[in-house]
């Protein structure tokens, strides 16, 4: 009989220890060690993987044929884009995101849309009826999409062997359990073992596997970080639940760039692919309103124009309020300090609220100038011309700094019908101005921008 063995696992990073520890030596978290029973059976047949096993031999790198492994399209342009051009056979893709963000919807939609290949959608979260209801809602049908409500990996591999699907979706990795290990589903050791079984299976059979993973309150993937190390690609599905827009971001990708971005809109009939993001990120308005500035930003490799909105009002309290949605609050504080200190705008007695339209979270520093201008516009109560956009970083001394990919930003703004774009003078070097119908307004300091827009 196999010996019962218990091991302590850090629930935050997955570090293993034979004794209980108060502080994890690896991630420095306190009180995260939990004892888990693991009973490893020496018999590897138990895992159910032995049927797929084949011995591999060393092969010269020059003999490995790349064209043997073409990418498979998921028939979803946004997903294909984030994956780096389609699904790679034999790859394991982890999709993380908060509950209710639409992970199950996205994968079911992909499964229903991939006509011509057999898809197995394994769920431990919902019943067949619930899945069917969702499929009805999405309004797609695919005879080749099979649903399996099962959580035991041994049974799953048995079904896979019979069905021979071309793509497998697991919803979610936290609900699976393997009988090789004797601890409860969702525990670190179970997640790790199940993911490793699926990964081995995928490598042995060349069948791509999509794993859906839950996310903790802190925003990291629930379960161990190790999960991220084991899979080939980690995608993050994010967005504001109150807004319709969802962003699929690649966090790790062994087969492509991590700067790609997919945008979807959650509708009553499922997720719609958004191929022109600027359309949704610019709100429709008939008249010019103060407090609005348009930033020409680049997310990943995609240029898009985003509306930043600011509201500046006199404060009723002794400490003025600062609030930012979709933008780093500390960076807003810094920009306000720059305005106050270097340019003499009195904002200390004002409340400042900032919002990025569409529920987008922006890291691109090129949005700085738009934030500053939106604040100034609201504070002065003068609207910025709706056909003007901005792309520049603001430095601590109020200087307007150049940003990357300026050509791309300008072309996007031009394409969307903007008439002028305000950029840093340092970005003008090497720009071909003549071929552009949009007017470029180079600026060096915040004061220049102020004169240009409100002077």
* Beta carbons of 326 and 242 less than 8 angstroms apart: no
Distance CA 149, CA 172 (A): 11
Sequence-ordered strand ranges (E) for 322-413: 322-325, 350-356, 388-391, 393-394, 400-401
Q: How far is the CB of 132 from ligand TYD (least distance, A)?
A: 12
Q: How far is the CB of 274 from ligand TYD (least distance, A)?
A: 15
Q: How far is the CB of 429 from ligand TYD (least distance, A)?
A: 46
Six-digit token pair at 252? 């790790």
Q: How far from chain centre, in Å, is Cα 129?
A: 29
Q: Please, which residue, 171 or 260, has the CB nearer to ligand TYD?
A: 171
Q: How far is the CB of 327 from Mg ion (least distance, A)?
A: 29
Distance CA 175, CA 101 (A): 18
Tell me if residue 447 falls in helix, strand or coil.
Answer: helix
Pick out residues in 244-303 that bind ligand TYD (CB under 6 A). Answer: 266, 268-270
Distance CA 417, CA 225 (A): 45
Q: Please, which residue, 102 or 277, has the CB nearer to ligand TYD?
A: 102
Centre a 10 Å sphere on the Cβ of residue 245 and count the other Cβ atoms it contains.
19
Beta-bridge mates of residue 314: 350
Buried b (16+ CB within 10 A) or exposed e, 256-279: bebebbbbbbbeeebbeebeebbe
Of 110, 72, 108, 106, nearest to 91 (Cα)?
A: 72
Q: Mark residues 154-193: x for contact with ligand TYD by CB under 6 A, - for none.
A: ----------------------------------------
Of 26, 36, 82, nearest to 225 (Cα)?
A: 26
Q: Mark residues 84-113: x for contact with ligand TYD by CB under 6 A, - for none.
A: -------------x-xxxxxxx--------
Q: Please, which residue, 33 or 237, has the CB nearer to ligand TYD?
A: 237
Q: Please, which residue, 106 or 198, has the CB nearer to Mg ion?
A: 106
Distance CA 93, CA 237 (A): 13
Q: Please, which residue, 99 or 417, has the CB nearer to ligand TYD?
A: 99
Q: Mark residues 111-150: x for contact with ligand TYD by CB under 6 A, - for none.
A: -----------------------x--xx------------
- From Mg ion, ligand TYD, none, interface partner of 375 (C-beta below 5 to 8 A by class): none
- From Mg ion, ligand TYD, none, interface partner of 137 (C-beta below 5 to 8 A by class): ligand TYD
Q: Please, which residue, 76 or 104, has the CB nearer to Mg ion?
A: 104
Of 394, 344, 349, nearest to 371 (Cα)?
A: 394
Q: How many residues bind ligand TYD (CB under 6 A)?
A: 15
Going from the C-alpha of 175 to that of each of 151, 184, 189, 323, the distances in angstroms are 6, 10, 13, 38
- From Mg ion, ligand TYD, none, interface partner of 268 (C-beta below 5 to 8 A by class): ligand TYD
Of 202, 289, 328, nearest to 211 (Cα)?
A: 202
- From Mg ion, ligand TYD, none, interface partner of 100 (C-beta below 5 to 8 A by class): ligand TYD
- Write out the residues near Mg ion by the rule CB under 5 A: 104
Q: How far is the CB of 172 from Mg ion (least distance, A)?
A: 7
Q: Please, which residue, 140 or 311, has the CB nearer to Mg ion?
A: 140
- From Mg ion, ligand TYD, none, interface partner of 319 (C-beta below 5 to 8 A by class): none
Q: How far is the CB of 238 from Mg ion (least distance, A)?
A: 15
Distance CA 204, CA 59 (A): 16
Q: How far is the CB of 333 from ligand TYD (least distance, A)?
A: 33
Q: Please, which residue, 78 or 307, has the CB nearer to ligand TYD?
A: 78
- From ligand TYD, Mg ion, none, interface partner of 99 (C-beta below 5 to 8 A by class): ligand TYD
Contact residues: ligand TYD, CB under 6 A: 97, 99-105, 134, 137-138, 266, 268-270
């Amino acid at each position: 009989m196999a010996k019962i063995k218990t091991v302590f696992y850090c629930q935050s990073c997955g570090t293993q220890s034979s004794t209980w520890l108060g502080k994890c030596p690896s991630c420095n978290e306190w009180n995260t060690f939990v004892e888990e029973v693991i009973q490893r059976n020496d018999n590897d047949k138990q895992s159910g993987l032995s049927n797929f096993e084949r011995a591999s031999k060393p092969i010269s790198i020059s003999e490995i044929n790349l064209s043997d492994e073409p990418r498979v399209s998921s028939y979803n342009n946004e997903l294909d884009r984030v994956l780096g051009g389609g699904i790679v056979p034999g790859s394991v893709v982890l999709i993380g995101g908060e509950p209710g963000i639409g992970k199950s919807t996205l994968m079911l939609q992909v499964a229903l849309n991939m006509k011509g290949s057999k898809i197995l959608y394994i769920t431990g979260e919902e019943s067949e009826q619930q899945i069917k209801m969702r499929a009805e809602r999405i309004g797609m049908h695919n005879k080749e999409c099979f649903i399996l409500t099962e959580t035991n990996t041994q049974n799953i591999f048995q079904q896979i062997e019979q069905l021979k699907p071309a793509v497998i979706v697991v919803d979610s990795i936290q609900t699976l359990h393997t009988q090789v290990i004797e601890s409860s589903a969702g525990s670190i050791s179970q997640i790790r073992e199940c993911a490793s079984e699926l990964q081995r299976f995928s490598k042995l059979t060349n069948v791509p596997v999509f794993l859906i993973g839950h996310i903790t309150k802190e925003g990291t993937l629930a379960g161990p970080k190790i999960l991220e190390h084991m899979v080939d690609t980690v995608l993050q599905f994010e967005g504001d639940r109150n807004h319709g827009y969802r962003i699929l971001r690649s966090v790790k990708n062994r087969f492509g760039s991590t700067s790609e971005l997919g945008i979807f809109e959650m509708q009553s009939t499922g997720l719609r692919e958004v191929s022109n993001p600027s359309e949704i990120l610019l709100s429709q308005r008939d008249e010019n309103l103060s407090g609005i500035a348009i930033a020409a930003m680049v997310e990943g490799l995609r240029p898009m124009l985003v509306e930043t909105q600011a509201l500046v009002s006199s404060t009723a309290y002794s400490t003025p309020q600062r609030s930012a949605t979709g933008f780093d609050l500390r960076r807003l504080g810094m920009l306000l300090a720059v305005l106050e200190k270097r340019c003499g705008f009195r904002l200390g007695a004002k409340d400042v609220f900032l919002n990025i339209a569409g529920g987008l979270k922006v890291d691109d520093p090129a949005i700085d100038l738009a934030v500053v201008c939106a604040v100034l516009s609201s504070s002065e109560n003068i609207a910025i011309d709706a056909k003007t956009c901005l792309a520049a970083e603001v430095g601590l001394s109020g200087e307007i700094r150049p940003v990357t990919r300026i050509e791309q930003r300008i072309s996007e703004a031009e394409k969307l019908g903007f008439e002028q774009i305000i950029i840093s003078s340092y970005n003008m070097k090497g720009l071909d101005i003549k071929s552009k119908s949009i007017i470029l307004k180079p600026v060096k300091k915040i004061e220049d921008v102020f004169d240009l827009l409100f002077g």
